[in-house]
Copies of this chain bind each other. A is one copy, B any other.
Amino acid sequence: MRISELSRRSGVATATIKYYLREGLLPKGEPTSVTQASYDEGHLRRLRLIRALVDVGGLSVATAREVLHVVDEEGLSLHRKLGAATYALGPTITPPIDDPAWKTVREEVDQFLSSLSWQVSPDAPARNLLTHALLSLRHLGYQCDTEHLRAYARAAGAVATTDLKTLAAHTPASESEAVEEAITFTVLYQPVLLALRRLAHEHESALRFADAETTPQKH
């Protein structure tokens, strides 16, 4: 298809597509003349992924390029590719140097993940994300007890299982398509979970605190 059709089908303006081409996020099309090129379904899919990363995920063009670079890398197994692409997604927390409080909480995080028997690389950046979040809680005077954390882990495990099940049901045409889909799901379902958590909070608050409002006063 020509760039105009790629624009129409993706809903992305031609100027934006040209920008992604220049920035190396979108691979060049097959040249059909000096000034024109032809694009295929792979380009359309890639364009959708770029939009997911940049518009919904809020990634910079540089970070998106890094993620896409991993998707295109040859010779990595699917699991490694999924891992590397997710790691590149960020956010990345750089651990402070020589902070004993960080070290303590990071060790607790590692022990907690071991207790779940989750198969997670020791280098997974989400270990630092979790450490940072728990340390922030602690700095603010809140201790996250293990029971609370376990409930969160169960919930996270349940959504991850559903995500992978939906992905597996798709039977993508190629491995790089599978990775593209997995990244899209990781990014696009994140706000779904956050929105539902907010809504569930409101519901729980209504259950616990709203009765006083609706029950008429005795007199």
Contacts and interface: CB of A to CB of B under 8 A. Distances in A.
Contacts of A83: 202, 205
A56 B199 contact: no
A156 B113 contact: no
Interface in A44-78: 45, 48-49, 51-52, 55-56, 77-78
A21 interface: no
A2 to B, nearest CB: 20
A48 B191 contact: no
Given A11-B139, A140-B51, A160 B200 contact: yes
By CB atoms of chain B within 10 A, which of A129, A153, A168, A204 has the most? A204
Contacts of A195: 126-127, 129-130, 133
By CB atoms of chain B within 10 A, which of A151, A159, A196 has the most? A196
6 contacts: A80-B213, A119-B202, A129-B194, A142-B184, A151-B161, A155-B156
A129 to B, nearest CB: 4
A156 B126 CA distance: 20
Contact of A79 (B118, B182, B210): B210
Given A127-B195, A129-B195, A156-B200, 19 more contacts: A48-B139, A55-B136, A56-B136, A82-B201, A86-B201, A120-B199, A126-B202, A129-B194, A130-B191, A133-B195, A144-B189, A151-B162, A152-B162, A159-B200, A164-B201, A164-B205, A182-B205, A186-B201, A190-B194
Number of copies of chain A assembled together: 2
A204 B132 contact: no
A204 to B, nearest CB: 4
A193 B147 CA distance: 14
